[in-house]
């Protein structure tokens, strides 16, 4: 598209999204009315702007000018000033009052408002207080414009400039001039590379200590996003060297300064030098301390307890196995107990027995899980309401009023319960565990349930595995596969995979199939056929319920490529079906999508069929899946319906938190369960083809597993028991804390 420049006055602001600044305006250019779209929340009616962009033809709204950059010209004539002031940009000043002001002061109007605002009181109808308010608002608007111009000159887009201004306000220029690398720490969506580009454009030296320290902090942040709570000193140096070209001496000096500034912690453990982000280090210590504090034993009469368990069995009609019975006893006797086991080993039955036993004693019980889907499944299997951990901890906050998102439940406002049961613990990272434990007082029983053989959490740490590995807590490992579960090849094969045993792939099963194929093209065609035609009637589900789980994001059988292919066949373009392009992705109404990061500020609502809001809240989380219900091309919004009918509106930059979900990585499927899963396996990097990954994928299916691809790849995964190494110091922190306790006993 050919770039063009237009110069004109803003006649009307047709639409504006207050959150991201996306705006539709009518601009008068030499008498012609031009519809312009773009991200410019600072312009108002009466402004004269010079805009650069391209004319495009919108299929619904006709010819529009899409603005890529613009400049607002300060009104220079009394006519322009009157139009600007009367536009409503200054609260309490309308067209009539604007006309009086300009009539009184003429071309000097803006100088008077800026330098001598008290003189506005000379006009009938303006008090001295109102005059000062008008001057204050005028100054604030000017500061905003100056900030936008300042950021734009360093290559910052209008949408990002809006986010930065919302964070820093009128201090934005001072903060960015002093340390542009703060943007990477303070602004969601700004990484080190973006901040670095801005800093270098501003003239900061590539060798500056500020840059080096910011790069080191960024390397630690990236390590956390890959699951590590710390990096070894040598590994951090190598990563920093790659990123910054830093010398060993410079690195050592910067590490020392970051330690003094309390941004990192350098700790030697077992001959290793570990470098932690300051927050993660103290989170691990706090989690260790709280777990040990909760781990109290109570004295119980064994005969009385046994009689109560028999009563539970009689009331529920269930017969507990020996290990399940042991788990129930531990739950009664211990302040903290961990129950782990694979599919079909009776975790749900055990939880239900524990709940029934505590209910008989009139105890207050709370149930929670890391994701909405996991909580929903917990509700279905127990008959009690289960919540997400975020909801349990009462996520709250009002960013619009300068606040931040926070959990209302904490050490000052703890959860009021006798028993708290958390399911799907393998998904809980160190951040969430820290917040949860802060809200639990000593004396409350905490029961952690999960499958330790599944993949670890997406966030940093391996909390469940570390708690078990520390050998300091009461752990019950359920291992008996019950008769009904043993009839499922999904469950029996999952246990075989976990044990490193070969599985039968002869397609004589009713719920576990292997379609042998040798090329990516064949596999892609098979996926389309299975989802669109064969599997939905077989498992009594819709095509949206069938989930493709793949080991990788890249490659012909990776998430990104498969989603493009599957979208084309499962939800093709159609007349009247609206679309929205974001980067290389085209979102289409009725697309299956997934939230790919925790966004505590994202607002949702539940509405009736008539559109009345009956419930609203905030928080959409990594792994939440939904369907695009509406794309508003005019407003630039995409509305997604998630579980429980929660409607979320995505606009502008928030679309980067969304991706197509016909195919997702196995890691992203944690905590979810699907009627049928399809696993394409051919070639992938060896670290991705491991037992842990295959086991997790298989255990996501309720009714049917279909592996499409190479039997050799399946066998390689079963034999490869190596997992992606993840640095976590929780075990050492637990042991260190307990040893310190023993010193003082």
Contacting residues for 111 by C-beta, under 8 A, at least 6 apart? none
| pLDDT for 626 beyond 70 | yes
Tens-place pLDDT, residues 86-122: 766 788 888 888 899 989 898 888 889 888 989 999 9
Q: Is 344 annotated as a binding residue?
A: yes
Least confident range from 191-195, 484-488, 542-546, 611-615: namely: 484-488
Nearest-angstrom CA–CA distance, 501 and 477: 20
**How many percent of the chain have pLDDT more than 90?**
50
Tens-place pLDDT, residues 51-89: 888 898 877 778 899 888 787 777 777 877 887 787 667
Tens-place pLDDT, residues 329-364: 999 889 999 999 999 898 999 999 999 999 999 999
- DSSP type of residue 454: S
Average pLDDT in the 456-482 region? Answer: 92
Q: Is 615 annotated as a binding residue?
A: no
- DSSP type of residue 229: S
Beta bridge partners of residue 353, listed in sequence order:
none
Nearest-angstrom CA–CA distance, 536 and 532: 7
Band (pLDDT 50/70/90 cuts) for residue 12 is confident
Token digits for 221?
């942040």
Three-state DSSP class for residue 707: strand
Tens-place pLDDT, residues 296-332: 887 766 777 788 888 888 888 888 889 999 999 999 8
pLDDT for residue 627: 95
Concatenated DSSP letters of 507-550: S-SSSEEEEE--SHHHHHHHHHHIIIIIHHHHHT--GGGEEEEE
- Burial of 478 by CB count in 10 Å (0-12 exposed, 13-18 middle, 19+ buried)? buried
Tens-place pLDDT, residues 685-708: 777 788 999 999 999 999 999 999
pLDDT for residue 483: 64
pLDDT for residue 610: 84
pLDDT for residue 398: 43
Nearest-angstrom CA–CA distance, 473 and 471: 6
Q: Is 623 annotated as a binding residue?
A: no
Band (pLDDT 50/70/90 cuts) for residue 444 is very high
User: What is the distance, to the nearest Å, from the Cα of residue 535 to the centroid of all Cα atoms in its chain?
Assistant: 31
| pLDDT for 521 beyond 50 | yes
User: What is the distance, to the nearest Å, from the Cα of residue 605 to the centroid of all Cα atoms in its chain?
Assistant: 18
Beta bridge partners of residue 604, listed in sequence order:
617, 648
pTM (2 d.p.): 0.80
Three-state DSSP class for residue 23: strand
- Strands 637-642 and 625-632: what pairing? antiparallel
| pLDDT for 670 beyond 50 | yes
pLDDT for residue 402: 39
Q: Is 472 annotated as a binding residue?
A: no
| pLDDT for 745 beyond 60 | no
pLDDT for residue 643: 83
Concatenated DSSP letters of 293-362: HH--B----HHHHHHHHHHHHHHHT----HHHHHHHHHHHHBSEEEEEE-TTS-HHHHHHHHHHHHHHTT
Least confident range from 46-50, 567-571, 643-647, 702-706: namely: 46-50
Band (pLDDT 50/70/90 cuts) for residue 399 is very low
Nearest-angstrom CA–CA distance, 221 and 214: 10
Neighbouring C-beta atoms of residue 369, cutoff 10 Å: 27
| pLDDT for 442 beyond 90 | yes
Band (pLDDT 50/70/90 cuts) for residue 42 is low
| pLDDT for 148 beyond 70 | yes
Concatenated DSSP letters of 26-47: EEEETTEEEEEEEE-TT--TT-
Element (H, E) at 618: strand 613-620
**How many percent of the chain have pLDDT more than 70?**
96
pLDDT for residue 743: 64
| pLDDT for 652 beyond 80 | no
pLDDT for residue 241: 94
Element (H, E) at 617: strand 613-620
Helix pair angle (209-225, 233-244), 10° resolution: 120
pLDDT for residue 466: 97
Contact 544, 538 (CB under 8 A): no
Element (H, E) at 709: strand 701-709
| pLDDT for 401 beyond 60 | no
Mean pLDDT score of the chain = 88
Q: Is 86 annotated as a binding residue?
A: no
């Amino acid at each position: 598209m050919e770039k063009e420049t237009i110069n004109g006055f803003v006649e009307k602001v047709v639409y504006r999204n207050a959150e991201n600044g996306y705006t539709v305006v009518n601009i008068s250019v030499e008498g012609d009315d031009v519809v312009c779209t773009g991200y410019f929340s600072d312009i108002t009616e009466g402004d004269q702007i010079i805009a650069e962009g391209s004319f495009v033809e919108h299929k619904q709204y006709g010819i529009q000018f899409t603005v890529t950059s613009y400049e607002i010209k300060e009104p220079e004539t009394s006519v322009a000033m009157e139009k600007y002031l009367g536009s409503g940009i200054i609260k309490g000043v309308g067209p009539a009052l604007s006309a009086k002001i300009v009539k009184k002061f003429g071309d000097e109007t803006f100088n008077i408002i800026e330098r001598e605002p008290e003189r506005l009181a000379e006009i009938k109808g303006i008090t001295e207080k109102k005059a000062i308010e008008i001057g204050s608002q005028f100054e604030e608007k000017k500061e905003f414009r100056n900030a936008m111009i300042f950021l734009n000159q360093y290559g910052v887009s209008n949408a990002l400039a809006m986010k930065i201004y919302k964070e820093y306000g009128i201090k934005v220029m001072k903060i960015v001039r002093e340390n542009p690398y703060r943007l990477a720490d303070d602004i969601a969506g700004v990484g080190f590379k973006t901040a670095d580009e801005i800093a270098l454009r501003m003239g900061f030296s590539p060798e500056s200590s500020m840059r080096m320290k910011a790069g080191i902090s960024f390397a630690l942040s990236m390590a956390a996003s890959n699951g590590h709570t710390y990096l070894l000193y040598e590994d951090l140096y190598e990563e920093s060297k790659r990123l910054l070209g830093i010398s060993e001496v410079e690195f050592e000096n910067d590490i020392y300064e970051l330690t003094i500034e309390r941004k990192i912690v350098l700790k030697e453990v077992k001959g290793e030098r570990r470098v932690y982000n300051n927050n993660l280090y103290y989170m691990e210590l706090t989690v260790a301390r709280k777990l040990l504090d909760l781990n109290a034993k109570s004295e119980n009469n064994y005969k009385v307890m046994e009689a109560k368990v028999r009563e539970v069995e009689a009331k529920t009609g269930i017969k507990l196995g020996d290990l399940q019975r042991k788990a129930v006893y531990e739950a009664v006797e211990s302040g903290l107990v961990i129950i782990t086991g694979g599919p079909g080993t009776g975790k749900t039955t055990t939880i239900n027995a524990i709940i029934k036993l505590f209910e008989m004693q009139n105890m207050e019980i709370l149930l929670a899980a890391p994701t909405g889907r996991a909580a929903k499944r917990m509700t279905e299997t127990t008959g009690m309401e289960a919540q997400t951990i975020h909801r349990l901890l009462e996520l709250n906050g009002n960013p619009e009023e300068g606040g931040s998102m926070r959990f209302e439940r904490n050490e000052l406002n703890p959860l009021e319960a006798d028993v708290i049961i958390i399911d799907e613990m393998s998904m809980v990272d160190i951040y969430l565990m820290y917040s949860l434990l802060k809200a639990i007082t000593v004396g409350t029983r905490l029961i952690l349930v999960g499958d330790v053989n599944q993949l670890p959490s997406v966030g940093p740490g391996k909390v469940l595995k570390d708690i078990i590995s520390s050998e300091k807590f009461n752990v019950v490992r359920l291992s008996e596969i019950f008769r009904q579960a043993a009839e499922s090849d999904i469950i029996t094969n999952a246990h075989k995979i976990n044990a490193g045993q070969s599985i039968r792939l002869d397609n004589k099963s009713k719920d576990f199939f292997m379609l042998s194929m040798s090329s990516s093209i064949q596999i892609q065609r098979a996926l389309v056929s299975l989802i669109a035609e064969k599997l939905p009637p077989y498992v009594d589900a819709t095509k949206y319920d069938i989930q493709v789980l793949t080991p990788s994001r890249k490659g012909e059988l990776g998430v990104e490529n498969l989603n493009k292919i599957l979208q084309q066949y499962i939800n093709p373009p159609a007349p009247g079906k609206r679309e929205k392009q974001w980067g290389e992705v085209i979102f289409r109404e009725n697309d299956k999508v997934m939230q790919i990061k925790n966004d505590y500020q994202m607002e949702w609502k539940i509405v009736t069929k008539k559109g009345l809001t009956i419930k609203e809240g905030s928080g959409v989380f990594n792994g939440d899946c939904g369907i695009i219900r509406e794309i508003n091309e005019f407003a630039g919004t995409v509305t997604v319906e998630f579980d429980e009918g929660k409607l979320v509106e995505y606009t502008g930059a928030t679309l980067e938190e969304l991706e197509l979900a016909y195919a997702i990585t196995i890691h992203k499927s944690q905590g979810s369960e699907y009627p049928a899963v399809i696993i394409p396996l051919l070639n992938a990097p060896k670290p991705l083809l491991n037992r842990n990954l295959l086991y997790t994928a298989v255990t996501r299916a309720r009714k049917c597993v279909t592996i499409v691809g190479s039997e050799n790849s399946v066998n390689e995964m079963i034999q490869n028991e190596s997992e992606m190494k993840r640095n976590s110091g929780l075990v050492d922190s637990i042991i260190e804390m307990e040893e310190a306790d023993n010193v003082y006993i």
